[in-house]
Amino acid sequence: MELLLQLVVQGIVVGSLYALVALGFVLIYKSSDVINLAQGEFLLLGAYIGLVFAGSLQVPFLLAVLLSLAAAFGTGLLVERLVLRPFIGEPAISVIMATLGLSMIIRSLIHMIWGTAPRSYPPVFSQEPIQLAAGPYRVLVSEAHLWTLAAAVILLVALTAFFRYSITGIAMRASADDQQAALSMGISVKRVLAVTWGVAAMVSGLGGVMLGNMNGITPILSSYGLKVLPVAILGGLDSIPGAIAGGFVIGILENLAGGYLDPLVPGGGVKEVAPFAFLLLVLLIRPYGLFGKEIIERV
Amino acid sequence: MRYPFAMECGVFRTTYREDLALHHTPIAKARLWLLIAVLYLLPSLLGSYVTSILNQVAIFSIAAIGLNILTGFAGQISIGHGAFMGVGAFASGYLMTKHGVPFWVAAPAGGLIAALVGAIFGLPSARLKGLYLAIASLAAQVVLDFVFIRWESVTGGVNSMSVPRPTILGHALDSEETFYYLALTLALLHGAFAVNLFRTRVGRALVAIRDRDLAAEVMGVDLFRYKVLAFALSAFYAGVAGALWGPYVLIINPEHFTILLSIELLAMIIIGGLGSVMGSVYGAAFMVVLPIAVSRLATFASQYVPGVGDRLMLLREFVFGTAIILFLVLEPEGLARLWRNVKDYFRLWPFSY
């Protein structure tokens, strides 16, 4: 029971991060029908930028987080302008390959600037684990985990509100729905796409800062980009609530698989594969994910 | 008898048979046979270092042609072809080392097993399209990677599996040159099959699916059957390439067949040209030669700028990424199209049309 609870709580924490990064996928897919395979590199970049502010420049941690979010937003704008703009209206495979190329470029630039040695953030949170509840339902959580969960939830709520109420959010939803109609209503789809990439880079940047805080920064962090794809697909590529729900489902599933199945397989590794195997099953039953919009084709 | 110096001009084909012909002039046919003859003579002209590069190009050409059949001709994206190559390599390696099956049986068997696995992972294409299908193939890659590492009794896991070079009439093909004849022959056979495939009913059905799947279905193309067939065929090519790669490098390790290989294969067909058999070959050559060129350049540059050599791997990745994006922006039809432009320029010279 204790193990189960511990795994579920860990799953929720990791899941909130997954939800954040998956949100980046969903945003970009919704507004331009593209999957951004460089999402993991955005995350890694966010982690390193955060490290520059919090580590080298000694900025207070909260301010450092805000600054790195701003920097990540700027990077997103820049990338959209330089790389993605020429691909508006091109077939999906071209755009996917372009984001693959982009991921290679960002990764090699990051390695050139910061090297490949693992780094860690200056300690902000206490190492002492916090005990939630007592007795048979005892669960230990580290402070960093709790803050991660809180930050993710705050950002998720803020983004949901942004999409529902702000004029930019509504414009983004409109151009996601139908680019032509949005254009004719006077919405600059180009600008919307730029903001989308900015926000997508920002949410994965926050994921990067938080992950870096929990586990330190290594280049392997960029693999989160691919790890989170099942989350986005599971929820449905074009559904924001889907990304959030998918994040928690995959987070918990992964930790349960890691806790219960890994010891059965010599060498382990089930934790990494379980989300993908689950994904294949889900796709066979619900091809557009749990909440994705079904595309009905008429001839 | 036609005048031998006549230029090709205009389209005067009056029958479907003529229209479908591979060579429209006797000169084109002669040129092809000459090219093949030159390809077979290359090792004795160029020495074993260049031959080793040619070997890699030949092997990756087979895999790239396979992926191009699926992605370029049938329009289904696969981010899992590296794993299918791995299936072919491990399956044939297992047959050769554990059961003593000769290479000549094990390689096609490896291809067939890869085709079977490819067909299984192609089943989702019944319901999935576009990006969702691409991600399903990514899932295939991850799951197969896991199987390669953990199914130690068959694959050897992280300890990898050593395989011998194939033998012919008791002689092992243990030099670069002798192996090249095998690799080249297989690449030519697979290339010829692919070129001819698109002159048949099946090939045209695949192209129809790519262009407009609904219209194809209305025309009587069984979408599911042909999509799975495309997956199987394309995985067969990848499997044969894998079965050839194992004996070539003498060792099969799960690390060869990760997502990186899948991405490289995709990059090959993008750079070479989607929907072009020759393009796959150019793309494979580009991706094999590029890292060598970059490392040469870095070694050269490190005489003047110290420390460049250490960052070689990064430089390589950077150049790969940039090349992919530049090709996509500037010449989406890839090297095949560039080559055609060059040929047209000289054929039409001094006029531009």
Contacts of A41 in chain B (CB under 8 A): none
- The residue type at B345: Y
- The residue type at A199: V
**Least Cα separation, residue B343 to chain A (angstroms):** 26
What pLDDT score was predicted for residue B123? 86
d(CA A222, CA A208): 9
On whether any CB of chain A is under 8 Å from the CB of B310, the answer is no
DSSP state, A129? P
Query: Could you tell me which of A156, A191, A247 has the C-alpha nearest to residue A31?
Result: A191
d(CA B172, CA B166): 6
Give the nearest partner residue to B124 out of A35, A237, A280, using CB atoms: A280
d(CA B167, CA B173): 6
What pLDDT score was predicted for residue B284? 95
What pLDDT score was predicted for residue B230? 94
Taking an 8 Å cut-off on Cβ atoms, the answer to whether B320 and A104 are in contact is yes
Q: What is the pLDDT of residues B41-91, one digit of tens each?
A: 988 888 889 999 999 999 999 999 999 999 989 988 888 899 999 999 999
User: A–B: how many Cβ contacts below 8 A?
Assistant: 129
d(CA B208, CA B217): 9
Pick the residue with more confidence: B333 or A263?
Answer: B333
Could you tell me the end-to-end alpha-carbon distance of chain B, in angstroms, rounded to an integer? 28
* pLDDT band (50, 70, 90) for residue B176: confident
d(CA B154, CA B254): 12
What pLDDT score was predicted for residue A180? 84
**Least Cα separation, residue A191 to chain B (angstroms):** 21
- pLDDT by residue for chain A (299 residues), tens only, comes to 677 888 888 888 888 888 888 888 888 887 777 888 888 899 999 999 988 888 888 888 888 888 999 999 999 999 999 888 888 777 777 888 889 889 989 988 988 888 778 888 777 776 677 777 666 667 777 777 788 888 888 888 888 888 889 998 888 888 877 788 888 999 888 888 899 999 999 988 988 888 888 878 888 888 888 888 888 888 888 888 888 888 888 989 888 888 888 777 766 678 888 888 888 888 888 878 777 777 766 65
d(CA A72, CA B57): 40
**Least Cα separation, residue B284 to chain A (angstroms):** 16
d(CA A117, CA A43): 17
Give the nearest partner residue to A105 out of B149, B259, B321, using CB atoms: B321
Query: Could you tell me which of B66, B68, B39, B69 has the C-alpha nearest to residue B51?
Result: B39
Taking an 8 Å cut-off on Cβ atoms, the answer to whether B128 and A86 are in contact is no
Q: Is residue B286 a contact partner of residue B268, using CB atoms and an 8 Å limit?
A: yes
Taking an 8 Å cut-off on Cβ atoms, the answer to whether B332 and A283 are in contact is no
Pick the residue with more confidence: B70 or B164?
Answer: B70
Give the nearest partner residue to B214 out of A96, A111, A297, using CB atoms: A297
Contacts of A35 in chain B (CB under 8 A): 131, 134-135
Q: Is residue A11 a contact partner of residue A252, using CB atoms and an 8 Å limit?
A: yes
Answer whether residue B127 shows pLDDT above 90.
Answer: no
**Least Cα separation, residue A79 to chain B (angstroms):** 12
* pLDDT band (50, 70, 90) for residue B141: very high
Closest B-chain CA to A270: B146
Q: How far is CA A150 from CA A16, A40, A51, A146, A210, in A?
A: 9, 22, 20, 6, 11
* Ramachandran angles phi, psi of B200, nearest 5°: -110, 175
Q: What is the pLDDT of residues B338-349, one digit of tens each?
A: 998 888 888 887
Report how far Cα B291 is from the mean position of its chain's Cα atoms: 18
Q: Is residue A89 a contact partner of residue B332, using CB atoms and an 8 Å limit?
A: no
On whether any CB of chain A is under 8 Å from the CB of B214, the answer is yes
* pLDDT band (50, 70, 90) for residue B353: low
Please provide the size of chain A in residues: 299
The tokens 């794993």 sit on which residue? B83
On whether any CB of chain A is under 8 Å from the CB of B188, the answer is no
- The residue type at B300: F
- The encoded tokens of residue B192 equal 């010829």
What pLDDT score was predicted for residue B236? 96
Strand partners, A146: none
DSSP state, A85? G
Residues contacting residue A187 through CB under 8 Å, at least 6 positions apart: A171, A174, A175
Pick the residue with more confidence: A245 or B156?
Answer: A245
Could you tell me the end-to-end alpha-carbon distance of chain A, in angstroms, rounded to an integer? 55
What pLDDT score was predicted for residue A11? 86
Q: Give the lowest-confidence range in B64-68, B307-311, B316-320.
A: B307-311
What pLDDT score was predicted for residue B65? 96
Answer whether residue B6 shows pLDDT above 90.
Answer: no
Report how far Cα A148 is from the mean position of its chain's Cα atoms: 13
What pLDDT score was predicted for residue B1? 53
Angle between helices B130-150 and B259-272 (to 10 degrees): 140
Closest B-chain CA to A88: B329
* pLDDT band (50, 70, 90) for residue B243: very high
Which of B 257-286 lie inside 8 A of A, CB atoms?
259, 263, 266-267, 270, 274
d(CA A200, CA A203): 5
* pLDDT band (50, 70, 90) for residue B310: low
Taking an 8 Å cut-off on Cβ atoms, the answer to whether B321 and A102 are in contact is yes
Report the alpha-carbon angle A268-A269-A275, nearest 5. 135
Give the nearest partner residue to B139 out of A100, A270, A280, using CB atoms: A280
On whether any CB of chain A is under 8 Å from the CB of B252, the answer is no
Taking an 8 Å cut-off on Cβ atoms, the answer to whether B321 and A86 are in contact is no
The secondary element (H helix, E strand) that includes residue B118 is helix B103-122
* pLDDT band (50, 70, 90) for residue B27: confident
Query: Could you tell me which of B249, B246, B248 has the C-alpha nearest to residue B97?
Result: B246
The tokens 């194992």 sit on which residue? B246
Contacts of B317 in chain A (CB under 8 A): 104-105, 107-108
d(CA A49, CA A43): 10
Average pLDDT of the residues in B221-235 = 93
DSSP state, A294? P
